[in-house]
Amino acid sequence: MWPMDTTTALVALPASTPATACPALSLAHAALHRREVAVGASLTVLAGRLWITLHGDPDDHFVAAGQGWTATRAGRCVIQGDADGAAASLWRWTA
């Protein structure tokens, strides 16, 4: 069975929008989320762990609850739920 795949377009929020106003997103273990991101796009993991890859970035990033990640270049970002035993990973885009 293939992982669930959710793809979203980049959504621009006003700069004055507080991070807490952005909806929290959830991914089941091994589910995928794809998004085009701009330089400086960032997220904070609220629960579980995410595996993040960014087109052109030679490194993969594992980001756990309480940690954040910021895109160093624009491009296609693929996020996979890596809840490590949890039912799902939960995160919020913060910029």
CA dihedral 14, 24, 59, 4 (to 10 degrees): -120
Per-residue pLDDT reduced to its tens digit, 37-88: 999 999 998 888 999 999 999 999 999 989 999 999 999 999 998 866 566 7
Contacts of residue 82, defined as CB under 8 A and 6 or more positions apart, other chains included, come to 29, 30, 48, 49, 50, 51, 62, 89
33, 63 contact by CB (below 8 A): no
Residue 40 lies in a domain: yes
Q: pTM for the complete prediction?
A: 0.73
Residue 83 lies in a domain: yes
CA angle 36, 72, 19 (to 5 degrees): 70
Could you tell me the residue range of the domain that residue 80 belongs to? 24-93
Residue 18 lies in a domain: no
Instruction: Give the total number of structural domains in the chain.
Output: 1
